[in-house]
Amino acid sequence: MRQGAVLAITCLALATVVAAMASLNVALPDIARHTHADQTQQSWIIDAYSLVFASMLLPAGALGDRFGRRRALVVGLVVYGAGSALAALTSDPNMLIALRAVLGVGAALIMPATLSTITSSFPRAQRARAVSIWAAVAGASGVLGLLASGLLLEWWSWPSVFWFNVVLASVALAGTAVFVPESADARPAPLDVTGALLAAAGIAGLVYAVIEAPVNGWSDPVTLGGIALGLLVLAGFVAYELRRRHPLLDPRIFRNRRFAAGSLSIALQFFALFGFMFVVMQYLQLVRGDSALTAALSLLAMPIGMIPASRLSPLLTTRLGVRGPWVAGLLMLAAGLAVLARLDGASPYGQIAAGLIPLGAGLGLAMPPATTAITDALPKELQNVGSAVNDLARELGGALGIAVLGSILTAVYRDNLHMTHVPSRVAEAAHSSLAGAAAVGGPVLRQAQDAFVTGLHAALFGGAITAGATAVAVAILLGRRRTPADKAARRAPADPMTHSGRERTP
C-alpha cells in the first residue's frame, strides 16, 4: 500500500513538472495580449524554464543524493509552487520570465528525485513495472498539460494555468510529507562544487545556443559560438571529472553499453517527440483551424497507445530480453512519424490517429528499458545523479528536437512560399511565420498553408529517420542476443566503471 502511494505521489510531482514544459504554449497568445510581451519576451517566457531546468539537473541530482531525495523533492515542490503563485499574480513580462526560471530550479530538484525515490524504494522484482509507469507519465504528461491548459482557458485567463500548477504542487507536497520515505547516501562523498558549476555552465551555453538557433540561424556567430563554448566547457567538465576521486558524474560510465544506449535512446526519443509536438500543434491550429482545446484533444490518441505499451514493456523485456521491445518501440516511433509526415490540409482525423497511436505505443515500449538501463548502471547511492542524467537526456533531446525540426520546417516553408503581387509588408508577415500569414488571411493564408504542409512533411520525415537510426544504434550497442552480462545487468546494478557489469576496468 505504501509503495503504491509513493509511486502515485512521485508520478504526480513528475506530471506537474513535465506538463509545464508544454502547457504554457497554449496560453501564450493570452499572455501576450494581457502583458504586452513582444516576440522575444514571449519566446523566453517559454524557454527560460527549459534553460534553467536543463542546466541545473546534474547539480540538483547530486544535492539529492547527498542531503536526501525526499528533502530535494520537498524543497523543489515549495519553490515550484511559490514561483507559480507569484507568476499568476504578475503582469510584467520580464518578471514572468524570471519566475519561469525559478520554476526551472524547482523542477530540477523535483524530477531526478521522483525517479530515484522509485528506484530506491522498490525491490528489484517490482522496479521495472514502477519505472514503466513513471516513463508513461513522463511521456504522456506533455499532452495532458496541453489539454489541461486548453480546458482552463475555455473559462479563465492565463493565470489559471499557474494556479493549476500551485494546486498540483500542493497536493504532491502533502503526499510527499505523509508517504515518501527519506533516502540518501549513508556516507556521502564530498560535494563536487567545481564539477557542478562546469556542468551547469556548459549545458546552459549549449541549450541557449540551440534554443536561439531557429531565430538567429544555424550559421549565425551567436549560434556557432554558443555551441562551441558549451561543448568546450563540457569537455573541461569531462577532463576535470576524470581526475576527481569523487566526481559528480564519472564519464567512464558511458563505457557501459546499456547506459550509453539508454542515454542516446532517451535523448533521441524526446528529440522526435518534442519536435513533433512543436510542429503538429501549429498544423492543427493554423492549417486545420482547430481551437487550442480541440488541438490538445486531438493528441489524446498518443497516450492511448503509450500507456498500455509502457505496461507491457517490462513483461516483454522479461520474456524476450531488453533488445527486442526496445528496438521495436523505436521502429514503431519511426513508423508513426512517417505516417504523420503524409498529412495535408484535408487529412481526416483517422489518418492523424493512425500515426499517433503507433507513435505513442513506440514510446511506451522504448522508454521503460532505456530509463531502467540508465538507473541500473549506477549504484544505489548515486541514483539521483543517474536520474538527473536520464532527465538531462530528455531536456537536451527535446530542445534539439524543437530547434532542428523547427528549423527544417521554417526553411522549407520559406523556400516554398512565393509571395508575388502583394505589398511588401504582407509578404514579410507571411514569410515570418504561418501565424503571420493567418493574420493576413485570404489567398496569402492558403498559399502559406500549402508551404507549411510541405515543411511539415520534411520535418516529420526527418524525425522518422532519426528514430530509425536510433533503433539501429541501440541494436548495435546492445548486441545480437542476451548475454550472461545482459541477464546479470537486469538482476543487479552494473558497476559504473565497467563495460559489462562484471569486471572492473583498470
Q: Does domain 254-491 have CATH number 1.20.1250.20?
A: yes
- Burial bucket for residue 125 (CB in 10 Å: 0-12, 13-18, 19+): exposed
DSSP string of 232-276? HHHHHHHHHHHH-SS-SS-GGGGGSHHHHHHHHHHHHHHHHHHHH
Q: Which three cell numbers stand for residue 15?
A: 506530471
Residue 151 makes CB contacts below 8 A (sequence gap 6+) with: 293
pLDDT in tens, the chain (506 residues): 577 788 889 889 988 888 877 777 777 767 877 888 765 677 678 778 877 887 888 788 778 777 788 888 999 999 999 999 999 998 888 999 999 999 999 998 998 888 888 877 777 777 778 878 887 787 777 778 878 888 888 888 889 989 999 999 999 999 988 888 877 666 666 777 888 888 888 888 887 887 777 777 778 888 899 889 989 998 998 899 888 887 877 888 888 888 889 889 999 998 888 888 888 888 888 888 887 778 888 888 988 888 889 888 888 888 888 888 899 999 999 999 999 999 988 899 999 999 999 999 999 899 888 888 887 777 766 666 667 777 778 878 887 887 788 888 888 888 888 877 777 787 777 777 777 777 777 888 888 888 889 999 999 999 999 999 999 999 998 875 444 434 444 444 434 333 333 333 32
Domain 1-186 architecture:
Up-down Bundle (1.20)
User: Of 81, 60, 82, 57, which is closest to residue 71 (Cα–Cα)?
Assistant: 60
Collect all residues with Cβ–Cβ distance below 8 Å to 213 and sequence separation of at least 6.
220, 223, 403, 407
- The alpha carbon of residue 59 and the mean position of all alpha carbons in its chain are separated, in whole angstroms, by 18
- The answer to whether 1-186 and 254-491 have equal CATH topology is yes
In this predicted structure, what is the pLDDT of residue 382? 64
Query: Residue ranges per domain, the chain?
Result: 1-186, 193-243, 254-491
pLDDT recorded at residue 24: 77
User: Could you give the CA distance from residue 424 to residue 173 in angstroms, rounded to a whole number?
Assistant: 54
Amino acid occupying residue 450 = D
Instruction: Give the separation between CA 502 and CA 488, rounded to whole angstroms.
Output: 8
User: What span, in angstroms and rounded, lies between the C-alpha atoms of 131 and 386?
Assistant: 13
Q: Please tell me the distance from the alpha carbon of residue 8 to that of residue 99, in angstroms, as a whole number.
A: 27
pLDDT of residue 170: 94
Note the residue count of the chain.
506
- Number of CB atoms found within 10 A of residue 39's CB: 11
Contact 211, 226 (CB under 8 A): no
